[in-house]
Structure 1
Amino acid sequence: MAQARLFAQERKLPAIMADVLAARPQMTIKRMETLAPGLELIRDLTEKNKVAADDLAKAVKDYLAEIDTEQDPETDKVQQTARTVVFSMLADASVRDYGPTREFSTVGTDWNSGPGLHARVRDAVEARLDRSHTPTLGRDLAGDWGDIIMAICEGRGERVSSRTQAARLMSSGTHTASDFAMITADAMSNVVARQFAQRVPDLARASREIPRDTYHQGKALTLSASGMPQEIAEAGEIEFVTMDEKGEALPTPRDFGAGFNLTNTALVNDPTGLMQQASERMVRGAVERLRRVLLEPLEANAGAGQTMADGQPMFHTSHGNTTSTGAALSVTSLSEARVALRKAKGLQGELYAIEPWALVVPAELETVAQQVVAEIQATKFSDANPFSGKLEIIVEPGLADDGAWYLIGNPALHDGLAHAFLTGQSAPRVESRPAWETLGMQYRLVWAVDAKFIETAAWFRNPGA
């Protein structure tokens, strides 16, 4: 236990991680050092998403179990494993806490009609669309689409003599068709949410999520003067400052959507393959949309960043977060960027002393970034490390300038890039209805999201050589 706690303190890991490590049989210091990059990534991702202690402990246990068979895994392997278990945990927590389906009491529930039947069918459809989902309520229906369709028809009191007749009802304008559309949309929403959480663009790690309840535009709070406590002389008065919404504009969710038509013929012939393909395209589309939304504030003004409240682009010499003379990524140029972050000041001249947390680079600089970080970063926690912790590398292939790079502070600690969803809608939502113009079903993916820089100090941009 003492070794695990010392290791956790050196790596700035939560105490609960030390408890999980200490409880693991044959966990040595050497093994902890090998697994450290993954543990640190779990720490950062869970801190950013404000994960509960129980969920954090589960993520660490799942990570240790997944990596247990690897004797000496590479850093990329441990980080990928850590990212996968955290995203899986976040997806499960999202469905559990904010999912598109409503909870209902199971006491006295009729499982052959109404909400009970809907829950069974939804569970079965999820199992058909996502092999990682193990059905519970709907396991008796998960084996065949014919059973699913027949169950919906019987739950509606429809008299059908064959599965073919039942399938035709799915594309009609009856209540049965509406039930099928609603249930499959709920199931696809859950599948899309889980798979999307596992494929979120890496750039999202550099952004902090801000909850927004409405579409109303808002601004960050700012102070009329420095909030630093001043000395009070005898019989002196306390100096008050005003807090008001005169800061940078907050991200305001914007609506996005995409529609999909599934024909009656395709639904009857291959419903599983068709819906799996539709779900996959929805996930890909959502990932790309989030990527482009996050890139907009960086790429605006020819790469100088969005226009801020003072009328200047985000990365401007007046903000102290860029340099007029670019330099290729190296230990020297990275050290200069670190100094700039450490000496970053607020509007009232207060020092932020931001600790560098990550390098954000285009795909063309990924290898260079790894080489530079390897030069300045110790491999063991007991070695001297000039950066007093791991420097993350965030690779964003969507960055247009293949020479520019960024050094940033931890978004969980410092305001910088921020994104917002409407509260409770951190994943896209799937809606559906029986098609009207054609025979079949219509599905649409809808989502409200936006991103903006809300502070200039936590990001430093070097335009490159």
Structure 2
Amino acid sequence: MEPENETETVERENIESPLVVTQRADGAYNVSLRDGFDPASFDFAAFLEQKYGAEREEIRRRSRQTPRIRTAAPEADPAIQRRAMEDALSVRSGVALDDARAEAARPFLGYSLRDFARASLEARGVSTVGMDPDALFRAALHTTTDFPQLLTGAGRRTLLASYTAAASVLKTLARQGSRVDFRTGSALRLGEIGALQKVSESGEIKHVSRSEAVESYALDTYGALFTISRKALINDDLGAFNDWATAAGQAAAQTEAALLWGLLSQSNGAGPVMGDAQRLFHADHGNLLTGAALSVEALSDARLAMRNQIGLDGKTRIAVTPRYLVVGPELETQAEKVLASIYAATTADVNPFSQKLALLVEPRITDGSWFVFADPASAPILEYSYLSSAPGPQMSEREGWEVLSREFRVVLDFGAGALDWRGAVRNPGP
């Protein structure tokens, strides 16, 4: 299919100019003289009309035609082309694309960094004829081209892909929030309203009160810098940039995991101090069990402790439902055995926890302890938040100042805190 952004032109036939027509008429007139015709009888105007009237009318008709202009094709849109080039760079970093985007990126998959720089310049109307690699990258990095944004866009996708893949299981146990600034914010929890009261014969419905609990935490900023040198660009060393973006995504995920684990591991596993002046895991909270090896019997004790939890009003049994068993690598195999579905020959051999608990393995648990958590949607223990305007790690870039390079920065605005103690139990192990 022809490009839609081209003006459709009419292919002209070999139509003679008026000068040629006149010359041919003069020639015919001279021939008539040689053949003995009477010059007075030669009708010059009639000759022109007979021979060239049709051609002249065709010229007039075509000159009146209005050229047909069609709208631009999607391929000509600079933004779409840049996205396709970003996708091509991302594919080289191992980022998966859907079929449509992979097809759009196909023409650029074989491009080197030099090719991308040249394409970015030429898209802005800059001629690259005669440019050596050094001049090419200088122009691409220091003029208003899409090349720096191309690198940043591809790097951002690589960053987010590795960040998502490296997400800690601890985020599964926590509720996600959002903060608009860096001030210490409070997470308010409202207690139960208890049972509904019977309406009297007069129709009066009484007001009820709810208990409140407040825990607080703040966001902090974490970041790292990376520089891709002019030499690396000229050498087409895209691998160094991709490796850094991948590592930065993993580092962001590890930073989040370390902060969440830091809450659970404070004070030798007792956790942070809560609003009632007790640690997260404490006998007074009914969520610190007597040390025992992981077994069906020990899991039964953990479930019972969660079922017996009392709400904020001090009297309502909220019957928390266990959802996750969390262990360290040393207990992973034992946990799989405990949770395995085994055909039971007798009722006594039935495993009551088969297919009821999901196993999560956290490599930072190294002391033999294990936890049981509820679904954070119903009984949250932890909460983490990002700055509302910048969820997750953010990448930006600028021109290198001290050396000829491009600097890339990854920033993470993140915070986490403990909300409640009722949705989890901890067993310190034998």
Q: CA deviation at 1:159?
A: 2.8
User: What is the CA deviation profile of residues 108-136 of structure 1, one whole-angstrom value per residue up to 9, with x for unaligned ones?
Assistant: 47856753443333233223333634634
Match of 1:120 in 2: 84
1:457 paired to 2:425: no
Match of 1:135 in 2: 102
User: What is the CA deviation profile of residues 319-340 of structure 1, one whole-angstrom value per residue up to 9, with x for unaligned ones?
Assistant: 11113x3222222222111100
CA separation of 1:404/1:131 partners in 2, compared to 1, >3 Å: closer, same or farther?
closer
Q: 1:195 aligns with which of 154, 159, 162?
A: 162
Superposed, 1:32-43 pairs within 5 Å as none
Match of 2:219 in 1: 253
Q: CA deviation at 1:147?
A: 2.0
Q: Provide the aligned length of Structure 1 versus Structure 2.
A: 350
Structure 1: 5+ residue runs without aligned partners? 1-106
Match of 1:391 in 2: 357
Please state whether the residue corresponding to 2:412 is helix, strand or coil.
Answer: strand
| Structure-2 separation of matches of 1:411 and 1:314 | 16
Structure 2: 5+ residue runs without aligned partners? 1-70
1:434 paired to 2:402: no
Match of 1:206 in 2: 173
Which 4+ residue blocks in structure 1 deviate beyond 6 angstroms?
Answer: none
For the 8 Å contact 1:149–1:166, the answer to whether it is kept is no
For the 8 Å contact 1:171–1:440, the answer to whether it is kept is no
Please state whether the residue corresponding to 1:229 is helix, strand or coil.
Answer: coil
Match of 1:144 in 2: 111
User: What is the CA deviation profile of residues 402-449 of structure 1, one whole-angstrom value per residue up to 9, with x for unaligned ones?
Assistant: 121111112233222222223474432211112111111111111222
Match of 2:410 in 1: 445
1:329 paired to 2:298: no
For the 8 Å contact 1:362–1:403, the answer to whether it is kept is yes
Q: CA deviation at 1:172?
A: 5.1
| Structure-1 separation of matches of 2:197 and 2:232 | 73
User: What is the CA deviation profile of residues 357-389 of structure 1, one whole-angstrom value per residue up to 9, with x for unaligned ones?
Assistant: 111112222222222223xx4569xx9652374
Please state whether the residue corresponding to 2:253 is helix, strand or coil.
Answer: helix
Q: Choose between structure 1 and 2: higher strand proportion.
A: 2
Please state whether the residue corresponding to 1:406 is helix, strand or coil.
Answer: strand
Match of 1:180 in 2: 147
| Structure-2 separation of matches of 1:237 and 1:256 | 56
1:169 paired to 2:138: yes
| Structure-1 separation of matches of 2:391 and 2:353 | 33
CA separation of 1:337/1:395 partners in 2, compared to 1, >3 Å: closer, same or farther?
same
Q: CA deviation at 1:233?
A: 3.0
CA separation of 1:243/1:430 partners in 2, compared to 1, >3 Å: closer, same or farther?
farther
For the 8 Å contact 2:121–2:140, the answer to whether it is kept is no
1:159 paired to 2:127: yes
User: What is the TM-score with the length of structure 2 in the denominator?
Assistant: 0.73
| Structure-2 separation of matches of 1:142 and 1:153 | 18
| Structure-2 separation of matches of 1:131 and 1:272 | 14
Q: 2:235 aligns with which of 269, 272, 293?
A: 269
For the 8 Å contact 2:188–2:215, the answer to whether it is kept is no
Match of 1:234 in 2: 201
For the 8 Å contact 1:182–1:431, the answer to whether it is kept is no
Q: CA deviation at 1:271?
A: 3.0
For the 8 Å contact 2:191–2:210, the answer to whether it is kept is yes
Q: CA deviation at 1:353?
A: 0.9
For the 8 Å contact 2:191–2:312, the answer to whether it is kept is no
| Structure-2 separation of matches of 1:318 and 1:236 | 42
Superposed, 1:1-400 pairs within 5 Å as 108=72, 114-130=78-94, 132-133=96-97, 135-145=102-112, 146-160=114-128, 161-162=130-131, 164-165=133-134, 167-169=136-138, 173-176=142-145, 179-223=146-190, 226-235=193-202, 237-242=204-209, 246-249=212-215, 252-323=218-289, 325-348=290-313, 349-374=315-340, 377-378=341-342, 386-387=352-353, 389-399=355-365
| Structure-1 separation of matches of 2:73 and 2:277 | 60
For the 8 Å contact 1:214–1:422, the answer to whether it is kept is yes
Considering only CA atoms, is the larger Rg found in Structure 1 or Structure 2?
A: 2
| Structure-1 separation of matches of 2:233 and 2:137 | 10
Identity %: 31
| Structure-1 separation of matches of 2:188 and 2:284 | 21
CA separation of 1:169/1:136 partners in 2, compared to 1, >3 Å: closer, same or farther?
farther
